[in-house]
Amino acid sequence: MRIIDRAAGCKSSLLEVFVVANFAFLVLDVFLAHSVNNFRHTAEWIPFAFSAVATLLLAAALPRKDWATRGSYAHGAGFMVGFSSVALGLAGVVYHLQSQFFSQWTIRSLVYTAPFAAPLAYCGLGLLLLLNRMVPPAKEEWGKWVVFLALGGFLGVFVLALCDHAQNGFFYASEWWAVASSALAAGFLAVALVDRRETFIRVCFGVLALQVAVGLAGFYFHVSADINGLSASMFENFVHGAPAFAPLLFVDLSVLAAIGLSGPYATRKWCGEGDSNPQGIAPTSTSS
């Protein structure tokens, strides 16, 4: 039982580190994204500042490892940042769609508007924080919720890849890789929510490895395009060119899904199928 508790604590810690790292990365990502219009609207500074503050608040709680303990700093900070992050993400979606889509209601305005699915990253991170404080990581539901949120992330990436690459009419055939790959990952993770057989979970890990390869390849293509951009300023090329860090979402979400999928392995290896006898106590005979 001690091994199980240690494994559950490890998964919980990994998830917390994952969230903190993502908030830290969003500081740079939001800065580059909103530099396209030089932060024309004051509200565009909100996600930038929120990401920085959230990183500091959550990083201070990492050494404590008591985010599930009521009344602790880590517990309170996680709830505060979690609910605020979900609210910020939903507000960001509406704010992005207001740039064009709500005034025109066309597919074209949806494609060429600000990336409306991007703020949903804050919703996902906020829900992960709440999950880590409301559901014990030793329970199977914890892993399923992590996989479900990773599934939602891949669906978001599918929409982003489709809309972003539609802006140039999928000029390069390789631009379809991101669309097909994210759809493949979403499909397998959806099945993984109900099919927990070890053989299928191993196949899912193979699919996640493919996502990592696609993400790294996309990162190379995007960075290469930006380095060889038309502007003499490298910064301007990265701001107005292909979003350099967008393909890394494939790597990021694959790590998240792997954390969630690791649950079935722990259950079978340390507890036995179904966790019916976690302490390994020999059954007592009732026959006389």
Alpha carbons 179 and 160: distance in angstroms, whole number: 9
Kindly indicate the confidence band of residue 116, based on its pLDDT and cuts at 50, 70 and 90.
Answer: low
Q: Note whether residue 30 is domain-resident.
A: yes
Range list of H helices, 167-247:
176-192, 198-227, 234-240
What is the per-residue pLDDT across 195-246, written as a single tens digit (0 to 9) for each? 888 899 999 999 999 999 999 999 998 888 878 877 777 777 777 677 778 8
**Last-in-domain residue among 98, 113, 138:** 138
The pTM score is: 0.78
The confidence score (pLDDT) of residue 9 equals: 59
Would you state the structure tokens that stand for residue 159, as one six-digit string? 């929409």
Q: Note whether residue 9 is domain-resident.
A: yes
Residues 6+ apart with CB under 8 A from 118: 33, 92, 96, 160
The confidence score (pLDDT) of residue 39 equals: 79
Domain count of the fold of the chain? 2
What is the per-residue pLDDT across 149-191, written as a single tens digit (0 to 9) for each? 999 999 989 988 888 777 777 777 888 889 999 999 999 999 9
Place of tokens 């804050």: 122
The confidence score (pLDDT) of residue 10 equals: 82
Q: Note whether residue 287 is domain-resident.
A: no
In this structure, the answer to whether residues 4 and 106 fall within a common structural domain is yes
**Last-in-domain residue among 106, 138, 170:** 138
Nearest to 121 by CA among 243, 208, 30, 40: 30
Domain that holds residue 218: 139-275
**Last-in-domain residue among 118, 138, 158:** 138
In this structure, the answer to whether residues 7 and 98 fall within a common structural domain is yes
Alpha carbons 50 and 58: distance in angstroms, whole number: 12
